[in-house]
Amino acid sequence: MSRSGYSDDDEHVHLYRQAVARAMHGVRGQAFLRRLRDALEALPTQRLIADALRDDAGDVCALGAVDATLREDAYDADELARHFGIARAMAAEIVYENDEAWRRAETPEARWIRMRTWVASQIC
């Protein structure tokens, strides 16, 4: 299973998409998106990894940029949501965007640009 917890067999995807929208556009979600944007911009190297919170070289995924002290086993959307104090739907969406949304040969630098652009587009 992916870190996002998304699957292709959800018959109620429209309800889930509404939960994502509410989480992202709420006060708490918007505050976290601003925090995420600032963390991405503060990274010493503008690059993001996929499929892990951080690697041996010290590179991080988008959520890892917000909190580099996250335990490596803080892997699933439920635990990430609890850690960051955001809705599970929002945590899963951020992980999905970082790891899976553009599954192709993407450099870590291109992933940083894409994620920074995506985060900015979500801020109202």
| Residue-wise pLDDT tens digits, 99-117 | 987 777 899 999 999 999 9
Question: Domain residues for 47?
Answer: 30-122
| In a domain? residue 38 | yes
26 or 76, which is more confident? 26
Residues 6+ apart with CB under 8 A from 118: 97
3 state SS of 60: strand
| In a domain? residue 22 | no
| In a domain? residue 24 | no
58 dihedral zone (left: phi>0; alpha: psi -120 to 50; beta) = left
Angle between helices 27-42 and 88-99 (to 10 degrees): 30
Distance of CA 94 to the CA centre of its chain: 3
Query: How many domains, in total, are found in the chain?
Result: 1
| CA dihedral of 71, 118, 94, 10, whole degrees rounded to 10 | -160
| In a domain? residue 13 | no
* pTM passes above 0.85: yes
Question: What is the tens place of the pLDDT at every residue in 39-95?
Answer: 999 999 999 999 888 888 989 999 999 997 877 666 688 989 999 999 999 999 999
Report yes or no: 89 and 101 within 8 Å, Cβ to Cβ. Answer: no
21 or 70, which is more confident? 21
Q: So what's the pLDDT on residue 6?
A: 53
Distance of CA 48 to the CA centre of its chain: 11
